[in-house]
Chain A
């Protein structure tokens, strides 16, 4: 068992070699993952597991691998789904009371792809309810604790997936990102998190929060592992009308460590000192220095509408969410209030009892901005500002190949610290939301510590150019050691 446990802490390449070489079986690896999940239950990173099914699948994988027929780099590897990605026959609660008893009758496209690749889904990860939050505190399962410091939050909304990878429960996990919900928790937990270009990964089977912003993406302990996982889950899907009809590049094959000749754009609006942890800025500047010494050039760019990103995001995202969440009405599935007097009572009580306060807040805000008389002033306006934000990036990318920024203005904040101040919580997304509004690919990776907590470095790419940010991220890992940092044991 020790060997399997050791292997669990390693990356995909090592795991593949050991599995294929017969050193460790898929069953042992999956068992190690399930054991570690149990042992770290206090983190509340994982909300449910499927041990019997996972073990059966692991056995089948072991069989395949023994016969030399591993389907992919993920064959036999344990993985977690964020609790808003559906799997047939399994619960999908989105960390909400309103779906506490829901079992999905169908698979998400990414679930199908993972299974076709042989990955073993061992369970489902904690999240902010319906992906609305930046701390994984808005959840019926109790807040997720940061493996680096259990008094701190994991970021959100994919905090459980980030923490699981950081704590070595699984080598990779899937999350979703609407305004930063993969990148920000990756930053908080010291792992790599990747949000692909909008439309790159199918949303079929992702419980929708904000349809024009949501994307599924991987967490991993290295850029290469994220690239490998993205290769498996990406691709055109005719079941998703917003899916981009583009081939999936072999990203892993292009990780050559070369950054010479690349130009990195540094947006002045993201490097202000006011309101930013000086340790964060220092680590990020050091990281940029490393890339420069490896041959990359930097140029200043400007994204002048950055200050309006949060407002724009919250109008658009909540408007779409208010409509997407209307289906949770207690009629066909999910929680229904006890003994409803009539139809209106059924709706009112099922929804009021089923949704947490943050979800209600956003539904109300979204309903308000779409309501009669306000559409042009809010939603209409925000969609136009969104165009201005995209143009900012178009202009910036005319003079650089990628953009580098801090992922967040600070490191992971304390549990409960921002619970009473929703606006302050929203403002912590300031560096990440523009990327969703413009539909660009973005990743966060560790670039050192500040006061003992991980600092996130964000790389933002041109549309459909995951290749460049993966390459630069991977190169940065070769130049430094930050990605090998692990949370203190026993955390």
Chain B
């Protein structure tokens, strides 16, 4: 929770699939350090027994009935695709399990 170093930036950049140049990484580390320094002020607050807020209101869980709707036109589904094969999205070969 103290200093953000280049390894920290590299770690989260990988998690977020962002490639940073060395300069960018350094700048990011500095910015994040500064912002987190400000965030540190939250530590001082006593939040013992305080529930986290998820949302504004205590709503009953919204649900919908199990009625299927018409699927989207498959052509339309891939209409924005950078690469497609028929109605499937095309990507470089998927090798491993989840990244």
Interface residues of A (CB under 8 A from B): 101-103, 105, 197-199, 212, 238, 241-245, 305, 307-308, 310-312, 314-315, 322, 326, 329-336, 340-349, 351-352, 355, 357, 360-361, 363-365, 367-368, 371, 374, 377-378, 380-388, 390, 422-423, 426, 437-439, 463
Contact A311 B51 (CB under 8 A): no
A384 near B91 (CB under 8 angstroms)?
no
Contact between chains at A422 and B82 (CB < 8 Å): no
- Quick one: which of A346, A361, A377, A386 contacts B32, CB cutoff 8 A? A361
**Chain B residues bordering chain A, tally (CB within 8 A):** 54
- The 10 tightest CB contacts between A and B, nearest first, are A383-B52, A439-B56, A333-B80, A336-B82, A384-B47, A347-B17, A348-B19, A352-B19, A367-B12, A311-B39
Residues of B within 8 A of A (CB): 1, 4, 8-9, 11-13, 15-20, 24, 28, 31-32, 34-36, 38-39, 41-43, 45, 47, 50-57, 59, 62, 64, 72, 76-83, 89, 91-95, 99
**A311 CA to B4 CA, complexed, in Å:** 17
Interface residues of B, dominant DSSP? loop
Contacts of B51 in A (CB 8 A): 384, 387
Interchain CA distance A438-B19 in the complex, whole Å = 35
Residues of A within 8 A of B54 (CB): 212, 383
Tell whether, in the assembled complex, residue B13 and residue A308 are in contact, meaning their CB atoms are under 8 Å apart: no
A308 touches B41 (CB 8 A): yes
Across chains A and B, the number of contacting residue pairs, with CB separation under 8 Å, is: 170
- Contact between chains at B42 and A105 (CB < 8 Å): no
Interface pair B41/A348, CB less than 8 Å apart:
no
A3 to chain B, nearest CB (A): 42
Q: Which residues from chain A contact B4 at a C-beta distance below 8 Å?
A: 368
Give Cα A189–Cα B3 distance, bound, in whole angstroms: 39
Q: Are B55 and A342 closer than 8 Å at their CB atoms? A: no
Known: A103-B80, A387-B50. A343 touches B94 (CB 8 A): yes
Partner of B79, one of A103, A322, A388: A103
Cβ–Cβ < 8 Å partners of A351 in chain B: 16-19
Are the C-beta atoms of A343 and B35 separated by less than 8 Å? Answer: no
Q: Which residues from chain A contact B47 at a C-beta distance below 8 Å?
A: 381, 384-385, 387-388
